Structure 1
Amino acid sequence: MLLVPADPLNPRRVDPHFAGQAAAARDRGIPVARIDHDAIADPERAVAGVPPAEDAVYRGWMMTADEYDGFARALATRGVVLRTSPAAYRAAHELPGWYDAVRECTPESTWTDGDDVPQVLAAAERLGAGPAVLRDYVKSMKHYWDEAAYVPEVADREGVERVARRFRELREDSFSGGYVLRRFEDFAGAEARTWWVGGRCVVVTPHPDTPAELPEGLDPSALELLLGGVGTSFVAVDVVWRADGVLRVVEVGDGQVSDWPGTWDPAELVDCLFRDNGW
């Protein structure tokens, strides 16, 4: 079964952002059920009316790891088993859960537990001198690059603190886990979003932010050799060429809440998830 958000303006319909994926699933005989994402804080209400299913995949808006745990528990009481467990979701959704799996091909990173500013200063000392990018466990504020993301020199304690405080202010209640400092690297060109099912790279698409640009030379079989440690969950891995021609991982995320580029056929994702040689 495919689970998708309902349209907030018409709960009898699928949210338009996911309508193509829902239609592709129905065309293939895969049941589709709607959830009320706006009610996710009350998970029993959010999943009311979802029928039982032994094998369900969610494709929808992002949830925190704690929200996903409640979502999975509420579905379990209705006889619905999600393919991705709460533990697997947290591991893919939050940087500390996936960093070790791709440590060799992603910028060096260190993080804090919580939003205490002295901790981020200690993290800066651990990372060592040089430029870095600040974020939390889930998200950066790249659209506020100079004021809440880029740290020109982590040895500049006042600069680190200033960026961290502004980041925290902008993230408000969405702040997740703790601060993360990642060594700045010079990337070249657009990112690609690679999709992994059962430990295999099943499709390579443009990143949704640059849907008309797909980097050249990305061989899925080579990616599997490089990134085999991403595990067996349904995950999306954003990759980019570094300026020196080395492939780097920018981000890992749970595939259920990773956006699909609008220029790509949604049926391709549905086929990867539900065909016999998929998961």
Structure 2
Amino acid sequence: MYQAQAEAFDNEGIQCSTINLDQLSPSSRITPAVSNDVIYRGWMLNEQEYQNLWASVINSGGKLVTDTDSYLALHYLPNWYELISDLTPETIILPKDCNLELELKNIGWESYFIKDYVKSLKTSIGSIITEPAQAVTVIHEMQKYRGKIEGGFCIRKIENFLPDTEVRYFVLDSKAFAPEANKPIPEIVIECASRITSRFFSIDLIKTKEGKERIVEVGDGQVSDIVGWEPGRFAQIFIDD
């Protein structure tokens, strides 16, 4: 999955190393050894896994540009929601041991987008429901297909998003980059980038039927896919920065 990115980085003169995530520990071997600032590209990691990655990079002679606190600040929705609550759909955070069906009845929306702190359900009945009673199925399917509910529940209000208008931007050291080099950066992306202190993260922007621009989600840039981007363009932002 990351082969094309590795080749693009190599073409830009950026060193790439590999680490075996299946055997990740604080002393995992990185080949070749790293130095200076390091950016991870790979699967999403939980807190302990990321701490192991951090230690492995340190032991190899480098330092991740994103420390564990910064990673979790973007990886878990409740950690970034309050920073941009006016730019993104209304969200209610609930503990995972709550009576979700009852909570949805109390909220009283016409429909609900349900995810845990990290991911939504993309299989079975999906993440959008219209009846609180469907919450039982959502919980069961999240546990079945994802193995666990990470953190708790995030109940997001449905807005009238236009299909096929979502665009991913990356922010590196406070500078936002678009999928195309000469594409202007929307003001809402610049505003979002100014409120978040992480050195490397992604911003997903979408348009509504009413003509508004809204932030769908932000995430740690290291574990964000380059959907809509060419590998060469993605590698270029580390040179342009």
TM-score between both structures, scaled by the size of structure 1: 0.76
Instruction: Summarize the alignment of residues 56-205 of structure 1 with structure 2, pairs less than 5 Å apart.
Output: 56-113=38-95, 115-118=96-99, 120-121=100-101, 123-124=103-104, 127-144=107-124, 147-153=125-131, 156=132, 158-173=133-148, 175-190=149-164, 191-204=166-179
**CA displacement 1:64-102 (0-9 Å, x = unmatched):** 233112210222122210001111111111101111122
Shift of 1:30: 2.0
Shift of 1:106: 1.0
Amino acid at match of 1:185: E
Which residues of structure 1 form unaligned runs of 5+?
1-16, 206-217
**CA displacement 1:6-46 (0-9 Å, x = unmatched):** xxxxxxxxxxx222222222223222111112223x3423x
Q: Is the 8 A contact 1:236 1:258 kept in 2?
A: yes
1:260 is matched with which residue?
226
Q: Work out the CA distance in 1 between the residues paired with 2:58 and 2:207.
A: 41
Q: Is the 8 A contact 2:87 2:188 kept in 1?
A: no
Overall identity of the aligned pairs, in %: 27
1:44 is matched with which residue?
27
Shift of 1:151: 2.2
| Structure 1 pair 30–248 and aligned structure 2 pair: CA distance change class (3 A) | same
Q: RMSD between aligned alpha carbons? A: 2.3
Amino acid at match of 1:170: Y
| Structure 1 pair 267–172 and aligned structure 2 pair: CA distance change class (3 A) | same
Which residues of structure 2 form unaligned runs of 5+?
none
| Structure 1 pair 183–221 and aligned structure 2 pair: CA distance change class (3 A) | closer
Q: Is the 8 A contact 2:66 2:198 kept in 1?
A: no
Structure 1 range deviating more: 134-143 or 222-231: 222-231
Which has the higher relative contact order, 1 or 2, with Cα contacts under 8 A spaced 6 or more apart? 2
| Structure 1 pair 241–221 and aligned structure 2 pair: CA distance change class (3 A) | closer
| Structure 1 pair 239–231 and aligned structure 2 pair: CA distance change class (3 A) | same
Amino acid at match of 2:153: Y
1:214 is matched with which residue?
none
Name the SS of the counterpart of 2:17 in structure 1. strand
Q: Is the 8 A contact 1:240 1:248 kept in 2?
A: yes
**Higher strand residue share:** 1
User: Are residue 269 (structure 1) and residue 234 (structure 2) matched?
Assistant: yes
